[in-house]
A and B are shown apart, each in its own frame.
Chain A
Amino acid sequence: MERGWGGEARLLVFLVDARIAGKRRVAREMWVLAMDAPEIAASVRAGQFVNLGWTPGPLLRRPFSVYRVDDDRIEIVLKAVGAGTAQLLDMDRGDRVSCLGPLGRGFDLGAGPRSIVLVSGGLGVAPMPLAAREATALGMRVTWVHGARSREELCTESGGDEVIWATDDGSQGLAGTAVAAAPDADLVLACGPNPMLAAAADRWPDALVAVETYMGCGTGVCLGCAVPLKRGGYDRACKEGPVYRAADIDWTALPAHLPYAVTA
């Protein structure tokens, strides 16, 4: 921690001119991009994100959960959902990406729980490998439940002590949603489309969920990433989030689908 110049205690944030170090496909149209960002790799926690900018690129940076960390490298997982992410996927090893992070508050795994279930849907797989690693380091038994629409869209990478697959069409694992397929545990983490998280909130009010929102700045100034709270008002996904206690969010007021990288 350092003292921010405004008097706020804040976590260290780095701006790294990161070299792309690798790219691999983990599902249909889903890729993992590795980049060299030693300062971020050394300090990022599960559920935190980086804000990426590149040239030529869209105007605004794009937020991505950190997927894995390997020595000096961080990885993100992405799909080409708009012009911006398509440009990012077109980049090659050796190209440079401006990487701001780590940002946001990650999963607080606490000290109490002995078993943990990670529930991910689609790109919601993004924060889970780091969460699995941290949970294992804390001595928890890790069950990972990953869901997608079909076998082709399931991320081929997973971890933990037990892996459960779920597909909407039943082409792999259990037929149905990841939330329905998941067993109970002392602690549940979930990430995926907002309707999936709303379903998780119904089943596990105390689950910790990482929400998806549009972001302008990623650092807490623009208030663009407003998350509606049950107790009233909004707070910022980039600063107080993106991880929340599931029951604290007003899911009826959170937009159901937010494709990133829209350049309208």
Chain B
Amino acid sequence: MTGMAVTIGDLKLRGPVLAASGTFGYGTEVPLLERRALGAMVSKGIFLRPRRGTAPPRIVETPSGMLNAIGLQGPGADALIRDYAPLWADWDFPVLVNINGESASEYGELAARLDGVPGISGFEINISCPNVEQGGLYFGNDPRAAAAVTEAVRKRTTLPVWVKLTPMVSDIGVIARAVESAGADALCAINTLVGMSIDLNAGRPRLSFRTGGLSGPAIRPLAVYLAHQAARAVNIPVIGIGGIARAEDALEFLVAGCAAVQVGTATFVNPRAIADVHDGIAAYLKAKGLGSPADLPRHLPKD
């Protein structure tokens, strides 16, 4: 009998396919969703206070990918608690909130504000958003800063704390170990890469913010590699993210050492992407006679 349940730290999820932050709003918007397939949802990233976001154009398509510079537009903690958490409290899967700040203490303050709110099951610390002037990426490419943010959040909540890592580092293992030591329950790898696209007619960047975060199938081989590197570096679970659109894509991350995956940009293209990936994994496990995602063979060479 094949079961799809996975365990991430203390959190038991009914399936290994999660909705990635920023591509799923607050979970109320996506049409045609088959919620049975959703292991968990990570909400759109928020700051303590409301944020306006960047000026348009905010997105541009690239070969097999997409650049975005939304700038973490969001309602802030109070509105999140008032408008969304009560809905989440009724759902049959956990919702984690992607949290952001301009300083380690601001991350901690946000976690404390959301801690204990019914409907919020954990946090994904975003130390890797390329689209904000302060915070974001700065914390993600310095092991001490990454650890300081993780610790600041860890001290203010008993809920699961995941840390979403940036690919924009020379050794992801160093950052992974730093946040593991600081008390992270799991890692999410990877966030978008910083990219740029130029409008030749206008002679200027296509995005008003100049640069944006690259997502989609274009980043998948890099994401598989970095998620694998992170998984080798730590003893906590790693959740793979990056260009997953089909079950085969997700299976690559699982075989590379991830305990679960998040599906992001693919949801824009295929509103049923999460269900398709979930069902495809289940079919693969069944065909191979495997009992659960944890039973997947991982014969990866050591270097």
A interface list, Cβ under 8 A from B: 4-8, 10, 13, 15, 53, 58-61, 84, 100, 213-228, 232-234, 239, 253-255, 258, 262-264
Contacts and interface: CB of A to CB of B under 8 A. Distances in A.
B267 A217 contact: yes
A263 B29 contact: no
Nearest to A261: B61
A53 B269 contact: yes
Contacts of A263: 61-63
A244 to B, nearest CB: 14
A13 B32 contact: yes
B31 A13 contact: yes
Interface residues of B, number: 47
Contacts of B32: 13, 15
A255 B57 contact: yes
Nearest to B50: A233
Contact of A219 (B30, B44, B217): B30
B62 A221 contact: no
B61 A15 contact: no
A221 B33 contact: no
A218 B27 CA distance: 15
Interface centre among A220, A227, A253 (most CB of B within 10 A): A220
Interface stretch (B64-72, B162-170, B184-192): B64-72
Interface string B259-293: 00000010111111000000000000000000000
Given A59-B66, A221-B30, A234-B73, A254 B206 contact: no
B70 A10 contact: no
Contacts of A84: 61
A224 B68 contact: yes
A263 B272 CA distance: 24
Given A222-B68, A262-B61, A213 B56 contact: yes
Interface of B: 22-33, 35, 44, 52-66, 68, 70, 73, 87, 90, 197-198, 206, 208, 216-217, 265, 267-272
Given A220-B25, A234-B53, A59 B59 contact: no
- Most-contacted residue by chain B among A8, A61, A224, A232 (CB, 10 A): A224
Contact of A226 (B33, B56, B63): B56
Contact of A7 (B35, B87, B269): B87
Q: Report the 9 A-B pairs with minimum CB-CB distance, sorted nearest first.
A: A6-B28, A224-B59, A221-B25, A13-B31, A217-B268, A220-B29, A264-B197, A223-B70, A226-B56
A262 B270 CA distance: 20
Contacts of A220: 25, 29
B42 to A, nearest CB: 12
Given A53-B270, A222-B70, A262-B206, 7 more contacts: A58-B61, A213-B56, A223-B44, A226-B54, A226-B56, A228-B56, A258-B57
Given A220-B29, A221-B25, A228-B56, A264 B61 contact: yes
A8 B83 CA distance: 11
Given A214-B56, A214-B59, A228-B55, A59 B64 contact: yes
Contact of B53 (A13, A215, A223): A223
A100 B58 CA distance: 22
A219 B56 contact: no
Nearest to B26: A6
B269 A59 contact: yes
A258 B57 CA distance: 8
B271 A15 contact: yes
Contacts of B197: 264
A252 B55 CA distance: 11
A213 B57 CA distance: 8
13 contacts: A4-B28, A7-B28, A15-B32, A60-B269, A216-B268, A220-B25, A221-B24, A223-B53, A225-B59, A226-B54, A226-B55, A226-B56, A263-B61
A96 B52 CA distance: 39
Q: Which of A58, A221, A234, A239 has the most chain B CB atoms closer than 10 A to its own CB?
A: A221
A254 B90 CA distance: 39
Contacts of B90: 7
Contacts of B271: 15, 100, 219
B279 to A, nearest CB: 16
Contacts of B54: 226
